[in-house]
Amino acid sequence: MQPFFKELNSIQGLVCEENVSLAPLTTMKVGGRARLFLTPLTITALERLLYVIHQQGICYKVLGNGSNIIVEDGGVGVVLNLSLLNKIQPSDKDRVYVEAGCTLSTFLKWCICNGFSGLEPLAGIPGSFGGAIFMNAGANGVSIGDFIDELYITTSTGSFWVKVSNDFFGYRKSYIPTDGLISAAKLRLCQQREEAHSNNNKKDALWLCDGSRIRNNLKKIMKKRLSSQPLGHPSAGCIFKNPSPDCSAWSLIAACGLQGFRLRDAQVSPKHANFIVNLGHATSNDVLDLIKLVKERVWEGTGVALKEEVVVWHHEKDVY
């Protein structure tokens, strides 16, 4: 594969590393290594990287802030790390441009500094902007997809903007082109709260608001999150999707007597039954075994088949 490595090293603005441990880079703190860890510093470098990978027919994974994923202990092959694609800048008078590697927490700090409200309910979600959009992350009745006006999609043949329609997002999913990555997005901004919500097929918008009020909103939401979620231990966030709007995964798990159940160093959180936490030395196998057990017990006890919200990165052999 020498030609492959030679081409990668010729890409300006690309950092190439081998055998990088992924556990420290994920919020669950489990998993093996990436045989090849590629970090583009610009979207142009990402375009060139995807072209080379496509030409070689090589599979890859995409890493943002490492939440919502569980990496198997055997590790994976090629990982694209988008964390340094993290710019935030005004796009025009009524939109803001955000790159995929920007974390949600960083963008919320930008909202405080610039006085734009609307995304406070997502406070405490540890993901990157691109990952949050891909999964249509949400909390407290608000989903990030509600605010996305345009997406910048990068493929092996270049990048292009896509206008987001109202049916672009579903519950914890999006319908992006299968051969592309979300590399940036634009969100709508407006002056008044009453102008912010969807009308005439427009997306919701962030609205101008006093920064101190936004900060107070964030504090209230984080206080509530800290009281109900196990933020003191490593986790991947909610493990399962809610089966329906009026049926929560956590209530089914708790009803089956699994809240607090421990398998080696992986535990169903005593604080929130839809979280599995790493008590210190859990392996990926521990977490995955516990997920399997929870699904089996809930099916036996309630007849409901839980579906994972987290994404499992399975061990790969001979990927390049």
| Catalytic residue set | 172, 238, 309
Instruction: Provide the 3-class DSSP secondary structure of residue 172.
Output: coil
Residue 265, Cβ density class (10 Å: 0-12 exposed, 13-18 middle, ≥19 buried): middle
Confirm if 18 and 58 have CB atoms less than 8 A apart. Answer: no
Position 285, amino acid:
N
- Residue whose token pair is 């880079």: 25
Contacts of 142 (CB under 8 A, 6+ apart): 118, 119, 121, 122
Please return the burial class of 40, using the count of CB atoms within 10 Å of its CB with bins 0-12, 13-18 and 19+.
Answer: buried
Phi, psi of 183 (to 5 degrees): -105, -20
* Measured distance CA(111)–CA(88) in Å, rounded: 11
Please give the radius of gyration of the chain, using alpha carbons only, rounded to the nearest integer: 20
Q: How far apart are CA 162 and CA 133, in angstroms?
A: 14
Residue 257 Cα distances to 79, 225, 243, 244, 292, angstroms? 38, 23, 18, 21, 15
